[in-house]
Protein backbone atom coordinates (compact mmCIF):
# COMPACT_ATOMS: atom_id res chain seq x y z
CA UNK A 1 0.00 0.00 0.00
CA UNK A 2 1.33 3.42 -0.97
CA UNK A 3 1.30 5.89 1.93
CA UNK A 4 1.69 9.62 1.43
CA UNK A 5 1.77 12.48 3.90
CA UNK A 6 2.43 16.21 3.86
CA UNK A 7 5.02 18.37 5.52
CA UNK A 8 5.47 22.12 5.04
CA UNK A 9 5.83 22.61 1.29
CA UNK A 10 6.34 18.95 0.37
CA UNK A 11 4.50 15.70 -0.25
CA UNK A 12 6.21 12.52 0.96
CA UNK A 13 5.42 9.04 -0.37
CA UNK A 14 6.76 5.75 0.96
CA UNK A 15 8.15 3.48 -1.76
CA UNK A 16 9.16 -0.17 -1.34
CA UNK A 17 11.05 -2.32 -3.84
CA UNK A 18 12.09 -5.96 -3.98
CA UNK A 19 15.55 -6.63 -5.43
CA UNK A 20 17.86 -9.67 -5.59
CA UNK A 21 20.24 -10.03 -2.69
CA UNK A 22 22.85 -11.06 -5.27
CA UNK A 23 22.23 -9.47 -8.65
CA UNK A 24 24.28 -12.24 -10.25
CA UNK A 25 21.56 -14.63 -9.06
CA UNK A 26 18.37 -12.77 -10.01
CA UNK A 27 16.16 -15.79 -9.30
CA UNK A 28 17.60 -16.27 -5.82
CA UNK A 29 16.97 -14.66 -2.45
CA UNK A 30 15.53 -11.15 -2.37
CA UNK A 31 15.70 -8.20 0.01
CA UNK A 32 13.53 -5.11 0.40
CA UNK A 33 14.57 -1.55 -0.28
CA UNK A 34 12.81 1.48 1.13
CA UNK A 35 12.89 4.96 -0.37
CA UNK A 36 11.00 8.16 0.34
CA UNK A 37 9.70 10.06 -2.68
CA UNK A 38 9.60 13.82 -2.14
CA UNK A 39 7.98 16.45 -4.36
CA UNK A 40 7.18 20.10 -3.80
CA UNK A 41 3.52 20.54 -2.91
CA UNK A 42 2.87 22.93 -5.77
CA UNK A 43 4.46 20.50 -8.28
CA UNK A 44 2.92 17.25 -7.03
CA UNK A 45 0.90 16.73 -10.19
CA UNK A 46 3.68 17.60 -12.63
CA UNK A 47 5.78 15.21 -14.70
CA UNK A 48 9.24 16.04 -13.31
CA UNK A 49 12.66 14.52 -13.89
CA UNK A 50 14.01 12.41 -11.03
CA UNK A 51 16.97 12.90 -8.72
CA UNK A 52 18.06 9.97 -6.55
CA UNK A 53 20.10 10.75 -3.44
CA UNK A 54 22.86 8.39 -2.28
CA UNK A 55 23.75 9.02 1.36
CA UNK A 56 27.25 8.99 2.78
CA UNK A 57 28.49 6.23 5.01
CA UNK A 58 28.61 3.36 4.41
CA UNK A 59 25.75 2.20 6.57
CA UNK A 60 23.50 5.22 6.94
CA UNK A 61 19.94 5.54 5.75
CA UNK A 62 18.97 8.61 3.75
CA UNK A 63 18.38 11.87 5.60
CA UNK A 64 15.01 12.30 7.26
CA UNK A 65 14.37 15.87 6.20
CA UNK A 66 11.54 17.98 7.53
CA UNK A 67 10.14 20.12 4.75
CA UNK A 68 12.77 21.63 2.49
CA UNK A 69 15.86 21.40 4.69
CA UNK A 70 19.47 21.58 3.49
CA UNK A 71 19.85 20.90 -0.25
CA UNK A 72 16.40 19.40 -0.69
CA UNK A 73 14.57 22.68 -1.25
CA UNK A 74 16.84 23.55 -4.17
CA UNK A 75 16.47 20.09 -5.68
CA UNK A 76 12.67 20.27 -5.47
CA UNK A 77 12.64 23.33 -7.70
CA UNK A 78 13.60 21.06 -10.63
CA UNK A 79 13.12 17.44 -9.58
CA UNK A 80 11.05 14.79 -7.93
CA UNK A 81 13.51 13.36 -5.38
CA UNK A 82 14.02 9.77 -4.24
CA UNK A 83 15.75 9.46 -0.85
CA UNK A 84 17.02 5.87 -0.95
CA UNK A 85 17.83 3.85 2.15
CA UNK A 86 20.72 1.83 0.71
CA UNK A 87 20.56 -1.91 1.31
CA UNK A 88 21.00 -2.80 4.95
CA UNK A 89 20.14 0.69 6.23
CA UNK A 90 17.13 2.62 7.44
CA UNK A 91 13.84 0.90 6.60
CA UNK A 92 15.45 -1.38 4.01
CA UNK A 93 16.10 -4.99 5.06
CA UNK A 94 18.43 -4.44 8.02
CA UNK A 95 21.89 -5.89 8.64
CA UNK A 96 22.97 -5.65 12.28
CA UNK A 97 23.85 -7.73 15.35
CA UNK A 98 20.19 -8.73 15.74
CA UNK A 99 19.57 -9.84 12.14
CA UNK A 100 22.93 -11.12 10.89
CA UNK A 101 22.77 -14.36 12.96
CA UNK A 102 19.88 -15.34 10.68
CA UNK A 103 22.55 -15.85 8.01
CA UNK A 104 24.46 -18.36 10.12
CA UNK A 105 27.90 -17.99 11.72
CA UNK A 106 30.60 -15.37 11.11
CA UNK A 107 31.71 -16.90 7.78
CA UNK A 108 28.18 -16.78 6.38
CA UNK A 109 27.68 -13.28 7.73
CA UNK A 110 30.90 -12.06 6.10
CA UNK A 111 29.89 -13.59 2.76
CA UNK A 112 26.52 -11.87 3.03
CA UNK A 113 28.08 -8.48 3.78
CA UNK A 114 30.26 -8.55 0.68
CA UNK A 115 26.98 -7.87 -1.16
CA UNK A 116 26.51 -4.51 0.57
CA UNK A 117 29.17 -2.42 -1.17
CA UNK A 118 28.89 0.22 -3.90
CA UNK A 119 28.57 -2.33 -6.71
CA UNK A 120 25.41 -3.86 -5.25
CA UNK A 121 23.98 -0.45 -4.34
CA UNK A 122 24.33 0.74 -7.92
CA UNK A 123 22.73 -2.43 -9.27
CA UNK A 124 19.87 -1.82 -6.83
CA UNK A 125 19.45 1.64 -8.34
CA UNK A 126 19.34 0.22 -11.84
CA UNK A 127 16.85 -2.45 -10.76
CA UNK A 128 14.39 0.09 -9.37
CA UNK A 129 14.95 2.91 -11.88
CA UNK A 130 12.52 1.55 -14.53
CA UNK A 131 9.78 1.34 -11.93
CA UNK A 132 10.47 4.86 -10.67
CA UNK A 133 11.16 6.79 -13.87
CA UNK A 134 9.52 4.58 -16.48
CA UNK A 135 12.97 3.82 -17.86
CA UNK A 136 14.25 7.37 -18.23
CA UNK A 137 17.71 8.13 -16.87
CA UNK A 138 17.84 10.07 -13.64
CA UNK A 139 20.24 12.45 -11.94
CA UNK A 140 22.18 11.11 -8.96
CA UNK A 141 23.43 13.19 -6.05
CA UNK A 142 26.12 11.32 -4.13
CA UNK A 143 27.42 12.62 -0.80
CA UNK A 144 30.71 11.19 0.53
CA UNK A 145 30.40 7.38 0.18
CA UNK A 146 27.41 8.15 -2.03
CA UNK A 147 29.93 9.81 -4.34
CA UNK A 148 31.98 6.60 -4.36
CA UNK A 149 28.79 4.83 -5.46
CA UNK A 150 28.26 7.49 -8.13
CA UNK A 151 31.72 6.95 -9.61
CA UNK A 152 30.97 3.22 -9.70
CA UNK A 153 27.67 4.08 -11.43
CA UNK A 154 29.59 6.02 -14.08
CA UNK A 155 31.94 3.02 -14.46
CA UNK A 156 29.24 0.40 -14.94
CA UNK A 157 25.83 1.85 -15.85
CA UNK A 158 26.28 5.35 -17.29
CA UNK A 159 23.21 4.78 -19.47
CA UNK A 160 21.10 5.15 -16.33
CA UNK A 161 22.34 8.66 -15.60
CA UNK A 162 21.16 11.98 -16.98
CA UNK A 163 23.75 13.76 -14.81
CA UNK A 164 25.89 13.05 -11.75
CA UNK A 165 26.49 15.43 -8.83
CA UNK A 166 29.11 14.55 -6.23
CA UNK A 167 29.81 16.29 -2.93
CA UNK A 168 32.94 15.36 -0.97
CA UNK A 169 32.98 11.92 -2.52
CA UNK A 170 35.53 11.43 -5.29
CA UNK A 171 37.38 8.23 -4.35
CA UNK A 172 40.81 7.18 -5.42
CA UNK A 173 40.36 4.77 -8.32
CA UNK A 174 43.14 2.42 -7.30
CA UNK A 175 44.48 3.30 -3.83
CA UNK A 176 44.59 0.55 -1.23
CA UNK A 177 43.13 1.34 2.19
CA UNK A 178 46.73 1.75 3.43
CA UNK A 179 47.23 4.61 0.97
CA UNK A 180 43.99 6.20 2.15
CA UNK A 181 45.06 6.21 5.80
CA UNK A 182 48.64 7.23 5.13
CA UNK A 183 47.17 10.37 3.60
CA UNK A 184 44.51 10.71 6.30
CA UNK A 185 46.52 10.88 9.52
CA UNK A 186 48.45 14.06 8.58
CA UNK A 187 45.13 15.72 7.62
CA UNK A 188 43.66 14.69 10.95
CA UNK A 189 46.64 16.14 12.77
CA UNK A 190 46.10 19.47 10.98
CA UNK A 191 42.44 19.50 12.00
CA UNK A 192 43.35 18.82 15.63
CA UNK A 193 45.97 21.58 15.58
CA UNK A 194 43.38 24.00 14.21
CA UNK A 195 40.95 23.00 16.96
CA UNK A 196 43.54 23.57 19.69
CA UNK A 197 44.47 26.93 18.13
CA UNK A 198 40.80 27.93 18.31
CA UNK A 199 40.24 26.52 21.81
CA UNK A 200 43.64 26.33 23.58
CA UNK A 201 41.94 25.54 26.89
CA UNK A 202 40.97 22.18 25.42
CA UNK A 203 44.60 21.00 25.41
CA UNK A 204 44.61 20.59 29.19
CA UNK A 205 41.04 19.27 29.24
CA UNK A 206 41.85 16.53 26.77
CA UNK A 207 45.05 15.58 28.59
CA UNK A 208 43.09 15.32 31.84
CA UNK A 209 40.40 13.12 30.27
CA UNK A 210 42.99 10.92 28.56
CA UNK A 211 44.91 10.48 31.82
CA UNK A 212 41.70 9.53 33.61
CA UNK A 213 40.87 6.92 30.99
CA UNK A 214 44.36 5.42 31.14
CA UNK A 215 44.05 4.96 34.91
CA UNK A 216 40.36 4.05 35.25
CA UNK A 217 38.10 1.45 33.69
CA UNK A 218 35.18 3.52 32.39
CA UNK A 219 32.04 1.82 31.09
CA UNK A 220 29.34 4.12 29.74
CA UNK A 221 25.67 3.60 30.67
CA UNK A 222 24.96 1.64 27.46
CA UNK A 223 27.85 -0.75 28.13
CA UNK A 224 30.37 0.98 25.85
CA UNK A 225 33.91 0.64 27.22
CA UNK A 226 35.43 4.10 26.96
CA UNK A 227 39.15 3.60 26.41
CA UNK A 228 41.51 6.42 25.61
CA UNK A 229 41.63 5.30 21.96
CA UNK A 230 37.84 5.37 21.78
CA UNK A 231 37.83 8.87 23.31
CA UNK A 232 40.40 10.03 20.74
CA UNK A 233 38.09 8.85 17.97
CA UNK A 234 35.73 11.71 18.83
CA UNK A 235 37.99 13.66 16.49
CA UNK A 236 35.69 12.48 13.72
CA UNK A 237 33.60 15.52 14.68
CA UNK A 238 36.33 17.82 13.35
CA UNK A 239 35.47 16.91 9.78
CA UNK A 240 32.20 18.87 9.90
CA UNK A 241 31.76 22.61 9.76
CA UNK A 242 30.50 22.98 13.32
CA UNK A 243 32.36 19.98 14.71
CA UNK A 244 35.16 21.87 16.46
CA UNK A 245 32.64 23.97 18.35
CA UNK A 246 30.52 20.96 19.33
CA UNK A 247 33.61 19.10 20.52
CA UNK A 248 34.64 22.08 22.64
CA UNK A 249 31.22 22.29 24.31
CA UNK A 250 31.35 18.55 24.99
CA UNK A 251 34.75 18.78 26.68
CA UNK A 252 33.98 21.74 28.89
CA UNK A 253 31.76 19.73 31.27
CA UNK A 254 33.64 16.44 31.23
CA UNK A 255 34.29 16.19 34.98
CA UNK A 256 32.20 16.51 38.11
CA UNK A 257 33.27 16.43 41.77
CA UNK A 258 31.99 13.41 43.71
CA UNK A 259 32.64 11.92 47.18
CA UNK A 260 35.07 9.57 45.43
CA UNK A 261 36.89 12.40 43.71
CA UNK A 262 36.63 13.72 40.12
CA UNK A 263 34.63 11.51 37.76
CA UNK A 264 33.42 11.85 34.22
CA UNK A 265 30.03 13.50 34.43
CA UNK A 266 26.80 11.73 33.56
CA UNK A 267 26.07 14.44 30.99
CA UNK A 268 29.45 13.91 29.32
CA UNK A 269 29.06 10.14 29.31
CA UNK A 270 25.56 10.36 27.86
CA UNK A 271 26.71 12.54 24.98
CA UNK A 272 29.83 10.46 24.32
CA UNK A 273 27.94 7.18 24.09
CA UNK A 274 25.59 8.72 21.55
CA UNK A 275 28.52 9.93 19.47
CA UNK A 276 30.51 6.68 19.59
CA UNK A 277 27.83 3.99 19.42
CA UNK A 278 27.40 2.09 16.16
CA UNK A 279 24.06 0.59 17.21
CA UNK A 280 22.18 2.58 14.58
CA UNK A 281 24.74 2.12 11.78
CA UNK A 282 26.84 -1.05 12.28
CA UNK A 283 27.58 -1.41 8.56
CA UNK A 284 29.76 1.68 8.84
CA UNK A 285 32.11 -0.22 11.13
CA UNK A 286 31.86 -3.56 9.33
CA UNK A 287 32.40 -2.24 5.81
CA UNK A 288 34.34 0.95 6.31
CA UNK A 289 37.65 -0.38 5.04
CA UNK A 290 35.96 -2.76 2.59
CA UNK A 291 34.67 0.20 0.57
CA UNK A 292 38.28 0.71 -0.59
CA UNK A 293 39.00 -2.96 -1.33
CA UNK A 294 39.13 -4.03 -4.97
CA UNK A 295 42.01 -6.42 -5.44
CA UNK A 296 43.55 -9.48 -3.84
CA UNK A 297 45.10 -7.53 -0.96
CA UNK A 298 43.27 -7.74 2.38
CA UNK A 299 42.53 -4.50 4.19
CA UNK A 300 43.81 -6.24 7.35
CA UNK A 301 42.74 -3.46 9.73
CA UNK A 302 44.52 -0.84 7.69
CA UNK A 303 43.76 2.16 9.90
CA UNK A 304 45.17 0.37 12.94
CA UNK A 305 48.36 -0.73 11.19
CA UNK A 306 48.98 2.65 9.58
CA UNK A 307 48.35 4.50 12.83
CA UNK A 308 51.39 2.75 14.30
CA UNK A 309 53.52 4.75 11.84
CA UNK A 310 52.32 7.99 13.43
CA UNK A 311 53.47 7.76 17.07
CA UNK A 312 52.26 11.30 17.78
CA UNK A 313 48.75 9.79 18.09
CA UNK A 314 49.80 7.63 21.05
CA UNK A 315 48.08 9.23 24.04
CA UNK A 316 50.31 7.58 26.64
CA UNK A 317 53.44 8.94 24.95
CA UNK A 318 51.90 12.41 24.73
CA UNK A 319 51.04 12.35 28.44
CA UNK A 320 54.57 11.23 29.33
CA UNK A 321 55.81 14.49 27.83
CA UNK A 322 54.21 17.85 27.23
CA UNK A 323 52.67 17.19 23.81
CA UNK A 324 48.95 17.64 23.26
CA UNK A 325 46.89 14.47 23.02
CA UNK A 326 45.74 14.16 19.43
CA UNK A 327 42.29 13.10 18.38
CA UNK A 328 41.88 10.67 15.51
CA UNK A 329 39.22 10.69 12.82
CA UNK A 330 37.21 8.57 10.45
CA UNK A 331 38.64 5.13 11.08
CA UNK A 332 37.61 1.75 12.45
CA UNK A 333 39.89 -0.47 14.52
CA UNK A 334 39.79 -3.95 16.06
CA UNK A 335 39.20 -2.38 19.48
CA UNK A 336 36.07 -0.69 18.09
CA UNK A 337 34.41 -4.12 18.16
CA UNK A 338 35.59 -4.71 21.73
CA UNK A 339 34.37 -1.37 23.06
CA UNK A 340 30.94 -1.15 21.47
CA UNK A 341 28.29 -3.60 22.75
CA UNK A 342 26.41 -3.25 19.45
CA UNK A 343 29.49 -4.58 17.61
CA UNK A 344 30.94 -7.16 20.01
CA UNK A 345 28.89 -10.06 18.60
CA UNK A 346 30.22 -9.18 15.13
CA UNK A 347 33.93 -9.12 15.97
CA UNK A 348 34.72 -12.42 14.24
CA UNK A 349 32.70 -11.39 11.19
CA UNK A 350 34.74 -8.17 11.02
CA UNK A 351 37.97 -10.16 11.24
CA UNK A 352 36.92 -12.30 8.28
CA UNK A 353 36.07 -9.22 6.21
CA UNK A 354 39.45 -7.69 7.07
CA UNK A 355 41.22 -10.85 5.89
CA UNK A 356 39.23 -11.22 2.66
CA UNK A 357 41.15 -11.22 -0.64
CA UNK A 358 38.50 -11.75 -3.33
CA UNK A 359 37.15 -8.21 -3.71
CA UNK A 360 35.81 -7.16 -7.09
CA UNK A 361 37.13 -4.05 -8.84
CA UNK A 362 34.90 -1.03 -8.34
CA UNK A 363 36.01 1.42 -11.03
CA UNK A 364 36.67 1.16 -14.76
CA UNK A 365 39.26 3.70 -15.87
CA UNK A 366 38.59 3.12 -19.56
CA UNK A 367 34.87 3.79 -19.25
CA UNK A 368 35.48 6.82 -17.06
CA UNK A 369 37.95 8.18 -19.59
CA UNK A 370 35.25 7.88 -22.25
CA UNK A 371 32.48 9.29 -20.02
CA UNK A 372 29.69 11.24 -21.69
CA UNK A 373 27.49 11.87 -18.63
CA UNK A 374 27.58 15.48 -17.36
CA UNK A 375 29.36 15.33 -13.99
CA UNK A 376 30.19 17.98 -11.42
CA UNK A 377 31.91 17.50 -8.07
CA UNK A 378 32.39 19.70 -5.03
CA UNK A 379 35.87 19.08 -3.67
CA UNK A 380 36.48 20.52 -0.21
CA UNK A 381 39.99 21.94 -0.05
CA UNK A 382 41.19 20.13 3.09
CA UNK A 383 38.45 17.55 3.56
CA UNK A 384 39.20 15.48 6.65
CA UNK A 385 37.45 12.40 5.29
CA UNK A 386 38.42 12.33 1.60
CA UNK A 387 41.93 13.20 0.48
CA UNK A 388 41.92 16.21 -1.83
CA UNK A 389 44.84 14.97 -3.94
CA UNK A 390 43.14 11.62 -4.46
CA UNK A 391 39.89 13.37 -5.36
CA UNK A 392 41.53 15.65 -7.93
CA UNK A 393 43.40 12.72 -9.51
CA UNK A 394 40.07 11.00 -10.00
CA UNK A 395 38.45 14.16 -11.33
CA UNK A 396 41.10 14.29 -14.03
CA UNK A 397 40.42 10.64 -14.91
CA UNK A 398 36.70 11.19 -15.59
CA UNK A 399 36.12 12.75 -18.97
CA UNK A 400 34.18 16.00 -18.80
CA UNK A 401 33.98 16.17 -15.00
CA UNK A 402 33.91 19.73 -13.71
CA UNK A 403 35.16 20.45 -10.19
CA UNK A 404 34.31 23.16 -7.74
CA UNK A 405 37.19 23.29 -5.26
CA UNK A 406 36.32 25.34 -2.19
CA UNK A 407 37.57 25.90 1.35
CA UNK A 408 34.32 27.53 2.40
CA UNK A 409 32.89 24.23 3.64
CA UNK A 410 34.01 21.10 5.40
CA UNK A 411 32.84 17.60 4.45
CA UNK A 412 29.23 18.41 5.33
CA UNK A 413 28.95 21.29 2.88
CA UNK A 414 25.86 19.83 1.21
CA UNK A 415 24.13 20.03 4.59
CA UNK A 416 25.60 23.28 5.88
CA UNK A 417 25.35 25.17 2.60
CA UNK A 418 23.09 22.86 0.67
CA UNK A 419 21.09 25.19 -1.59
CA UNK A 420 24.20 27.05 -2.74
CA UNK A 421 26.30 23.89 -3.13
CA UNK A 422 23.64 22.14 -5.18
CA UNK A 423 22.93 25.25 -7.22
CA UNK A 424 26.61 25.50 -8.13
CA UNK A 425 26.85 21.85 -9.18
CA UNK A 426 23.70 22.07 -11.26
CA UNK A 427 25.05 25.15 -13.01
CA UNK A 428 28.27 23.25 -13.79
CA UNK A 429 26.59 20.20 -15.32
CA UNK A 430 24.31 22.49 -17.34
CA UNK A 431 27.23 24.59 -18.62
CA UNK A 432 25.72 27.71 -17.11
CA UNK A 433 29.01 28.80 -15.54
Respond yes or no: is residue 323 known to be catalytic.
no
**What b/e readout covers 128-156, taking b as 16+ CB neighbours within 10 angstroms?**
bbeebbeeebbbbbbbbbbbbbbbbbbbb
- Distance CA(341)–CA(277), nearest Å, equals 8
Cβ neighbours for 324, distance < 8 A, ≥ 6 positions apart: 192, 196, 203, 206, 207, 318
User: What kind and span of H or E run contains 11?
Assistant: strand 10-20
Q: Cite the beta strand spans of 259-337 per DSSP E.
A: 261-264
Dihedral (Cα; 353, 238, 273, 98), 10-degree rounding: -30
Phi and psi at residue 200, in whole multiples of 5°? -60, -25
- Distance CA(17)–CA(415), nearest Å, equals 27
**What b/e readout covers 278-311, taking b as 16+ CB neighbours within 10 angstroms?**
bbebbbbbbbbbbbbbbeeebbebbbbebbeebe
From the candidates 124, 390, 411, 412, give the one annotated as an active-site residue. 411
Respond yes or no: is residue 411 known to be catalytic.
yes
From the candidates 144, 244, 277, 331, give the one annotated as an active-site residue. 144
From the candidates 25, 47, 322, 358, give the one annotated as an active-site residue. 358
Respond yes or no: is residue 358 known to be catalytic.
yes
Active site residues: 144, 358, 411
Amino acid sequence: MTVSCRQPGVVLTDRFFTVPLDHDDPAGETIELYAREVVASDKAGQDLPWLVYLQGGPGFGANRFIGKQAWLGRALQDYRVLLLDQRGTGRSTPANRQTLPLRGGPAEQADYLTLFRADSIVRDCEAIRPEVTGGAPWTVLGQSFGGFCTVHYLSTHPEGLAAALITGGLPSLDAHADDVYRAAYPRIERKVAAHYARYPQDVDRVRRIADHLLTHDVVLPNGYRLTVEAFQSLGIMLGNGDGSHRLHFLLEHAFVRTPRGPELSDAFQEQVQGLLSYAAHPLYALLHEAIYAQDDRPTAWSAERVRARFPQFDAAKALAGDSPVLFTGESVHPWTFDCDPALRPLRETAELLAARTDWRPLYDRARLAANEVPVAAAVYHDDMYVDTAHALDTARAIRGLRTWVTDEFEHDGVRAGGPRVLDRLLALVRDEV
